Amino acid sequence: MPKQGLPPPERAQTVARVALAAALIGLALWTLWEFIPALVWAGIIAIGIGPSYRTAERHFPPGKHNLLLPSVFTALIALVFVVPLAIAGIRVAREWHIVMEWLISARQTGIPAPDWLAHLPWGADQAVAWWNENLADKDAAVELLHRVDRAQLLLTGRQLGAGLIHRAILFGFSLLTLFFLFKDGDHLVVQMRHASARAFGPSGERIGRQIIASVHGTVNGLVLVGLAEGVLMGIVYAFTGVPHPALFGAVTAVAAMIPFGAPLVFGLAAFMLVAQGSGTAAVVVVVAGMVVTFVADHFVRPVLIGGATKLPFIWVLFGILGGVATWGLLGLFLGPAIMAALILLWREWTDGEGA
């Protein structure tokens, strides 16, 4: 019988093409390695905002060049991130002189113990004694402040500044990528469907849909639910007299996007109330925080995240925690998406449906 397969020249060309493609992909990843987080963030935001963008396209059909709608949505996304940071920066700049005046006063007269220190539920006497010994006395306060390594502070400040500049550049590239994803997203989706069909068959598109559904569910389950938790707890903070309730509410919203993050914030708020002598208000904050987070984590999020992909919540939780540990904030979205794709492959394999 004649030997089946490609003739030797064609087989050699196929191997060469595969090797060339692998080499080019490796070089591209190496070249873009520093910008991969920016590209991934742009993809996550584009997927999360996709339904709203398509709704806007139906009401305002794109013109010949399709520039206005992508520009508007990109600008809105930029404002969502830039405005809060700008407000925080302005507030820090305004209050910086208070810090400088406090340092000058500490060098001249020492730092008197605050009233709330004596109202701590435990260790109040020891805390007050340590404060009076190390900070209330002028000479002791000056000695303690001189222990601070100025060179180390300068180095830390420079590293922080360099890190902020680097992240600002990546954010700019994320916005640039996001603009082109809005503008040419439909063409890219068609190309990816054809590529996945040629490479993986019908399973490729199913896995892609599963990943997209997981990102949608994670955005709704983490971001939107976290914002709702922040609003509710902000109301509780204002009602119970927590200092800066709006700020604490915003921090709670961000922390609530990470599992077990919100209790750290409302626990700190409760501790501040206890320090001020408001024990009852502290209990109200803790109880309200536990109820809000319990309902969000055990009822709302499992439906939003797991319901979109039929993914058990235990795998959602493992995906989020493992993703955060591996990729930082990106892992909040990548972890559940990877778990969703893996569970889909497992189900197809065990059910005998995989192609």
- Please name the residues in contact with 67: beta carbons below 8 A apart, sequence gap of 6 or more: 183
**pLDDT-based confidence at 355, cuts 50/70/90?**
very low
Cβ–Cβ contacts within 10 Å for residue 206, how many? Answer: 19
Q: Is the dihedral of CA 324, 326, 331, 337 positive or negative?
A: negative
Q: Which two tokens stand for residue 224?
A: 């939107």
Q: DSSP letter at 110? A: -
Structure tokens at 123: 């260790």
Q: How far apart are CA 209 and CA 8, in angstroms?
A: 39
Q: Specify the 3-state DSSP secondary structure of 329.
A: helix
Asked if 286 and 263 touch (Cβ cutoff 8 Å), the reply is: no
Residue-range domain boundaries for the chain: 34-186, 195-355
Instruction: Give per-residue pLDDT as tens, 214-257.
Output: 888 888 888 888 889 999 999 999 999 888 888 888 889 888 88
CB contact at 8 A, 182 and 70: yes
- At 88-109, the pLDDT tens digits run 667 666 666 666 666 666 666 7
CB 52 within 8 A of CB 77: no
Q: Kindly report the pTM of this predicted structure.
A: 0.71
pLDDT band of residue 7 (cuts 50, 70, 90) is low
Token pair for 189: 């989706």
